Structure 1
Amino acid sequence: MNDPNIIDWQPLWLSLKLASVTMFILLFLGIPLAWWLAYSRRRWKVAVEAVISLPMVLPPSVLGFYLLLAFSPANAFGAFLSRYLDLRLVFTFPGLVMASLIYSLPFMVNPILAGFRGLPADLKEASQTLGKSETVTLFRILLPNIHTSLITGAVLSFAHTIGEFGVVMMIGGSIPGQTKVASVAIYDEVLSTNYPLANRYAIVLLALSFAILLLVYSINHYYNKYKALP
């Protein structure tokens, strides 16, 4: 019989897996999106930026509720995925990934967007004057100059996904080995009044979150110190 006071590491590894997958996908999505927001002259890009940042102010339970409705096979989008792509997003790990991508998107896009907007305007113009394409300018000129923003976005989106509860609970529930991440495990232990085990899960997440933030601030500190040197 398993000791109820011993940590089951599976929810923690599942949280790390979810955060890692989400972070890498968001890097591929966030870079072109932030680049477009920084340099596009479309007036309606302000609305796009507001939609991207909406998860930062929207209660997670509200976002999770509407995603649950959208992903449900009983509704049009969920039925389309289930019928034509054989993909079920409710109470599955792919559903957690999709929800996490939406929930953590602003934590990736906003730092990268701030990095692009902080670059001198003539940097992009000089590259184009030399005949460089938009793609070459992005990957050879712009991104190397905002690498701290890329690291910040990646680490913050990873940390944000690690700590999310409301959205993953609404979409995934608490299925061991599939959707029961660490934050849900804490909730389950609190409901069963097993506070010592809930405390152990919480301490691990607290230590992990602190280490992640310490990494971000250390990188930014040493980079700013390096830039200040003659």
Structure 2
Amino acid sequence: MSDFFAFTPADWQAIWLTLKLCFITTLLLMLLATPLAWWLARGGSWFHTVVQSLVALPLVLPPTVLGFYLLILLGPQGWIGQTLESMGLNHLAFSFNGIVVASLIYSLPFAVQPLQDAFGRLGHRPLEVAASLGASPMDRLLTVVFPLCRGGLVTAATLSFAHTMGEFGVILMLGGSIPGETRVLSVMIYDYAEALDFQNAHRLSLLMLVFSFLILVAVYGRQRRFSLFAQRNVNS
């Protein structure tokens, strides 16, 4: 039984690369998704609808389709890839930076939607009260918006991290399976299964299954506590 949980050096390399990808993607997503979600929550024009649809597109688009077009765009023959190479830089296909870009796009709705819902529930009244008391826009952001919407912030960060960890199709299409560069856990499991090494595939799959379950328990548990707290405040 102990041998079942004995990870190989290649496994540890994939685990470290996956965690690195998840942390970087989550950090960048929170920086990008927070102002975007605020803008979407405060607007109702047709342009907001178009942007919201573009943000949510990865939810319905097959990952291989998104990965294919990113490969075309970021590869050596693509517009972005050629632009980078003309500047003396490397194109982004089959690289860690490339799968970071892919992860940002593919996990964007999992960061934006919880934040947008939280900002939408906030309403205008708390900000108006804070402004009437002389609070600057930055003060309102730090002392009103973030504290009242912390549940949405935590949910967005948690779901972004977990969804990035489970990505497969986009990463495989754009990054392939390069050890130490693009071979994350999901790709490693695929490589094991393709080689009929089901014991190693099962070990890593079980690790991701347990982690994903614990993430969902944490998210739904926090949402339940928030709902009970809000209900007690209404009843009181």
What's the TM-score, normalizing by structure 2?
Answer: 0.89
Confirm whether residue 71 of structure 1 aligns to residue 74 of structure 2.
Answer: yes
Q: State which of 77, 87, 104 in structure 2 corresponds to 1:101.
A: 104
Aligned residue runs from structure 1 range 155-166, under 5 A: 155-166=158-169
String of CA shifts for 1:167-195, please: whole Å, max 9, x gaps.
00011100011110000011111111111
Alpha-carbon distance in 2 for matches of 1:43, 1:35: 16
1:199 equivalent to 2:198? Answer: no
Match among 134, 139, 144 for residue 141 of structure 1: 144
* Cross-structure match for 2:13: 10
User: What's the secondary structure of 2:46's corresponding residue?
Assistant: coil
Please give the alpha-carbon distance, in whole angstroms, between the structure 2 residues aligned to 1:133 and 1:51.
Answer: 32
CA distance in 2, matches of 1:211, 1:179: 25
Question: Relative to 1, partners in 2 of residues 1:193 and 1:31: Cα closer, same or farther, differing over 3 Å?
Answer: same
TM-score, normalised by the number of residues in structure 1? 0.92
3-state DSSP of counterpart to 1:44:
helix
Match of 2:156 in 1: 153
1:88-115 Cα shifts (integer Å, max 9, x gaps)? 3111111110100000000000000000
Q: Which stretch shows the higher mean deviation, 219-228 or 199-208?
A: 219-228
In the TM superposition, 1:1-230 aligns within 5 A as 6-7=7-8, 8-40=11-43, 42-84=45-87, 86-229=89-232
Distance across 2 between alignment mates of 1:118 and 1:192: 50
Moved more, 124-133 or 136-145: 124-133
Moved more, 136-145 or 19-28: 136-145
Aligned residues: 227
User: How far is the alpha carbon of 1:165 from its aligned partner?
Assistant: 0.2
> Residues of 1 paired with 2:88 and 2:50: CA distance?
31
Give the SS at the match of 2:109.
helix
Q: Structure 1 stretches of 5 or more lacking a match? A: none
CA distance, structure 2, for counterparts of residue 173 and residue 82 of structure 1: 20
Unaligned runs of 5+ in 2: none
Q: CA–CA distance in 2 between the matches of 1:164 and 1:86?
A: 26
Superposed displacement of residue 123, structure 1: 1.8
- Percent identical: 43
Deviation (angstroms), 1:150: 0.5
Q: After superposition, what is the alpha-carbon deviation per residue over 1:37-72, rounded to whole angstroms, capped at 9, x for unaligned?
A: 111354311100000000011000000000000101
Following superposition, which runs of at least 4 residues in structure 1 exceed 6 angstroms of deviation?
A: none
